[in-house]
Structure 1
């Protein structure tokens, strides 16, 4: 591989940490809050019932903690199980935070089609307030003129169809490198020993984003800045994935009981420092009149606003934050989705056979999968859709927040209520999906349903104004990666696992991962 063995081990450890979700939060909250009940009851005013409001139904909850202990470590699954009792919309109290969970395609349709603007704000977690990250983030910025500037930069400048086409050669290079890394690693393994597939996809995606954003191979072992940036970003992703007591009991923020703010200040500060260095180096390397690289960084530097309702230029701080967000948004989601897709195919060998046969017919034995092939690979597209239906990367999407008191489906939803759209539950909605718990890519053959925000039964990337802006790029990358993995290699499960015994439990962090990482054996196709 193109990076040193010791660095590889370090990076693997960081990635495994990112995948972890700790339940310490729930233990700590129980111990602390029950021992501090007298102090916290001074805040009972926040739990006074809304006598004149008709709130959605929901579990009663505990004093002080509300429903926090009821949800457990897998709240997306818990809420899915509560729908038969309480219905499509559930009301929750999470500490001091009012929350509404949407659990069906019907409720999601009403939410995004008729109330999108009323819930256009975001819930900002304590860790995302560090260094004012949320103010420069497209995903988290307040809904308004500056958010529109960032959205336009992504959708009109960075990810317009022509620019995506122009960067296809970069994606092809990075995927080729990944295939080579896998092949080299497979040669070192003992027979029937699997390798950690998601790790290779994560590293490839991180390097791809470095090329698209900065025109740099950040995994180059000679790059000290690249290595430190990678390490800092791993920390940033890890701390973002923890449930934080300070979010549910704001008056305890000063204690930082879990140390998450302290850790985030360290790693986010380091990442911003290195991002700033990348920007300064670019500015020094491109004198006036010189040829531009025309990567994402150049587009940000060239932005010119009207200086009235939008800034004349992107500030240094927001520029650095935007760079980090590109890596935050793309690395984890791509690797987790690919891992789930390959897992499902190994559990369902008939689907694997169909996918490989389609690739052989369309691409041929001696050729590589190209992005231009995607439209001619309907079964591969169906596999990606079915994977995203069952395993959306972020099960609750990015939580919304009510900007005003709103009448929603006959319920009175107070201003500032957090909204959790449970895309995981919606993908299993028995009212719209036949045999919803089974992996059946065939359900999408001949169907017009897609994940681009217009079909509310399939919303792994959200919908409405604040839908993920990176879907056009994600669409290309996911198909290219999975298609290349299937075309290049035959895959088997690790020798100690069968398709009947493979662990399908998930673990919730910044994304929803397999609790036990997929270990699969690649064998180069004999073609």
Structure 2
């Protein structure tokens, strides 16, 4: 009897397996994106260099515009084409609208409660709305014109004092961006020669905050290994800086509250702290804004705006120095438009089409944030035929997209004319060009940052001629980078200004 049942059982088992295999084969399969060989534990971390946008661009050249990596414990998808960027930022924007909870943001953004790193949800929607309508509206950006005017004139005064001498423009640009953002955010200049007490404390604390945000954190790739952050000392630095940030911000908020209580009504020229203290009292808020939320929102505006603005100015002057014919054409445009007033006013900027093209071309070749801010998938998604699991980290390589020969003719050539006579916008309407990201998580402060870059650059070109130091040729300029909050030049941009317009630069 047993000899009869055994063949039947084997046949039934075999028949079931065949049916299961056919069913599995007939089901549409979505493969994962191509992936290079990895290593145990670290996955593909060994493939990243100190210039990750470069190494990831090289991977894309080998494997294609979408690559799957395992960076430590984190599944990561890197996209490096305009087509795929459009799928992430537009077609599936609702799926890729959240952020990974990076360690630095958990601490220095007061529990990821800023606009940049807060998870997608009601709080983020409210915070972004406040930033767009209250902090960074066109009316608010225009209201800071006097601050920009004064601080750019300080910059011009420093340059004028060194006319005919070699000058490190990188330091001046960083000071300019910090001073403008600090005055706009906190009502204080970032640094002064006579800086003492609280002023010096503010400088020290915000400088450390910028450094920590820009730093590499191994713990972000091994979120289950808490001991990694403690062992490296990184967590200790974060904790210390958070305590300092809270103390400094509490003092600034207390000063603003006391000033508000001593006057009637709303101050005509509000800084970001004033605005948020007013918004905090509104009864129509979907989610209450705590004092820590307020600090996170203000610091977000400061940290996000300083490095990106100064780096863009630095790279623009570098490329103009390397391309003297472009420099000459930009100067001729500025001097022609502003000749009747003897000074570039912000009202002139709308007519400086070639200058705007110069800035766009600079950001195409040198995007201030070359990997954009990472995103995280909230659910499983099919991306161009590939399956992307939920909780995957998404990196968009704006550096590779801006140099893609499929999108740009002669992509390594610096040619502002490519932006003349077309509708390639500074925002995300054309996914070949993403200096400020895109979709619902795109940078809300792009107009504020551009206002600083445009007026500073226009006045530098109007009032000064620029030359390389004696014995330095354009082909010898170092274009190597330092990866951080924004990608900056590794070596200082040193040029020799010659003042050609006599103007009293009053800051």
TM-score by shorter chain over 0.5: yes
Identify the match of residue 213 of structure 1 among 176, 182, 185: 185
- Please tell me whether residue 237 in structure 1 is matched to residue 210 in structure 2: yes
Seen in structure 2, the aligned counterparts of structure 1 residues 353 and 305 have a Cα distance that, compared at 3 Å, is same
Which of 82, 94, 101 is the aligned partner of 1:117? 94
**Residue 432 of structure 2 corresponds to residue 460 of structure 1:** no
Question: Is 1:298 the equivalent of 2:274?
Answer: yes
1:260 to 2:234 alignment: yes
Report the counterpart of residue 298 of structure 2 in structure 1: 323
Is this contact kept in 2: 1:393–1:460, CA < 8 A? yes
What is the 5 A alignment of 1:334-345?
334-345=309-320
> Which residue of 219, 222, 234 corresponds with 1:246?
219
Partner Cα separation in structure 2 for residue 410 and residue 128 of structure 1: 33
Structure-2 change in CA distance of 1:125 and 1:374 (3 Å)? same
Computing the radius of gyration over CA atoms, which structure comes out larger, 1 or 2?
2
The aligned runs of 1:38-49 (5 Å cut-off) are: none
Task: Report if aligned partners of 2:109, 2:299 keep a CA contact under 8 Å in 1.
Answer: no
Matched, 1:85 2:95: no
2:10 matched to which residue of 1?
Answer: none
Separation of aligned partners in 2, 1:493 and 1:415: 51
- Report how far residue 250 of structure 1 moved: 2.3
Question: Which ranges of structure 2 fall in alignment gaps of 5 or more residues?
Answer: 1-28, 503-507
C-alpha root-mean-square deviation of aligned residues, in Å?
1.9
Unpaired runs of at least 5, structure 1: 1-51
- Report the alpha carbon displacement of residue 372 of structure 1 after superposing the two structures with TM: 1.0
Aligned partners of 1:375, 1:170: CA distance in 2, in Å?
19
User: What residue is the counterpart of 1:202 in the other structure?
Assistant: 174
Corresponding residue of 1:129: 106
Normalized against structure 1, the TM-score is what? Answer: 0.85
- What residue is the counterpart of 1:160 in the other structure? 137
Matches within 5 A, 1:10-29: none
Q: How many Å separate the matches in 2 of 1:272 and 1:517?
A: 33
1:134-191 Cα deviation digits (max 9, x unpaired):
432110111111111211111111222222222212211111111112223x26xxx6
Contact 1:232 1:268 in 2 (8 A): no
- Asked if structure 2 preserves the Cα contact closer than 8 Å seen for 1:244 and 1:258, the reply is no
1:224-259, Cα deviation, whole Å (9 max, x unpaired): 222211221111111222221111122332242332
- Give the match's secondary structure for 2:462: helix
Displacement of 1:128 = 1.9
Match among 58, 70, 74 for residue 35 of structure 2? 58
The answer on 1:97 being equivalent to 2:74 is yes
Larger mean CA deviation between 122-131 and 174-183 belongs to 122-131
Instruction: Tell me what 1:3 maps to.
Output: none
1:418 aligned residue? 393
Tell me the secondary structure at the aligned position of residue 218 of structure 1. Answer: coil
Instruction: Say which SS state the counterpart of residue 117 (structure 1) adopts.
Output: coil
Residue aligned with 2:455, SS: helix
Aligned ranges for residues 466-477 of structure 1 at < 5 Å?
A: 466-477=441-452
2-structure distance, mates of 1:328, 1:287: 29
Indicate yes or no: 2:458 matched with 1:486: no
Distance (Å, rounded) in 1 between the aligned partners of 2:33 and 2:157: 53
User: Equivalences for 1:369-518 in 2 at 5 Å?
Assistant: 369-518=344-493
Are 1:287 and 2:264 counterparts?
Answer: no
Residue 210 of structure 1: CA displacement? 2.1
Preserved contact between residue 272 and residue 324 of structure 1 (Cα < 8 Å): no
User: In 2, distance between residues paired with 1:309 and 1:511?
Assistant: 33
* Contact 1:83-1:103 within 8 A present in 2 as well: yes
